[in-house]
Amino acid sequence: MPSGGIGKSDGYYNYRFNWSPTTTKTSKDSCLDGLHFWRTRMYSTTLKKARITFPRDNNMYALIDNGDENNFMKVNIALLTVTDTRTFDNDKSGGILVNKIKEANHNLIDRKICKDNKDEIVLILKEWLKNEKIDAIITTGGTGLTGRDITPEALDEIADKHIPGFGEVFRNISLKTVGTSAIQSRACAVLANGKYVFALPGSSGGVTDAWDGILKHQLDVNHKPCNFVELFPRLKEK
């Protein structure tokens, strides 16, 4: 069990969790092991707000379980648009994702645009993978079949594991909106250095399908029966 609250300030209850490597998982405590979150994360519930601190040296992590099913965890996201032509002023797909990230109450930590150049994409991804403040990376663009579409190949360069189900589910969703044209999408996702990296199409419809059909739910810690967020603590297990 965690050590308890250590006072209240600014309307938030403050908790510091100190876990031993042998702490066991219990259903009500939502104790999840293996996390290397080293910063304060914010949770809001209908009953109270809590500021939770995770000590840097711990390998354990916990969600507050106060009997409320509406605990919420903000995911820190970096967004990369891969394009030879767009700028921040006319990056419609990137703008859609910015709005959806904010509407979902997650944090947009960084946003960049780069050319369809594999080395440049890999360089940016590696920089973000080293950033402890970033939990997940979303790219948009470069997932098609042309010679300049090389985002999936860039993800291959940094991947620890592939998540084939992401592309499978995305194309199934797209089949309902664009028909058999969905076959031309190579949207994909990987795990790298304990972070999720999602490669979405460059079209506004494609990013909308991916967010509304997959990411909106899988980046919500309350989504049942399971979600990407609850796996954060175990992504770097040995």
Q: Are residues 207 and 102 in the same domain?
A: yes
The H or E element spanning position 204 is helix 204-210
Last residue of a domain, one of 73, 106, 128: 73
Position 234 in a domain = no
44 with 89, same domain?
Answer: no
CATH number of the domain to which 104 belongs: 3.40.980.10
- Domain presence at residue 231: no
Domain count, the chain: 2
State whether 81 and 39 are in the same domain.
no
Per run of 10 residues, the mean pLDDT along the chain (length 238 residues) is 38 39 36 33 36 38 41 88 95 98 96 97 98 95 97 98 98 97 98 97 98 97 90 85
The reply to whether 95 falls in a domain is yes
Q: Look at residue 232 in the predicted model and tell me its pLDDT.
A: 87
Domain of residue 86, residue span: 76-218
According to the model, what pLDDT value does residue 230 have? 85
User: What pLDDT score was predicted for residue 71?
Assistant: 60
Could you give the CA distance from residue 152 to residue 78 in angstroms, rounded to a whole number?
Answer: 17
Regarding whether 158 and 185 lie in a shared domain, the answer is: yes
What per-residue confidence (pLDDT) applies to 60? 32
Q: Tell me how many degrees the CA angle 49-53-56 measures, rounded to the nearest 5.
A: 165
DSSP at 188: E
For residues 52 and 136, state if they share a domain: no
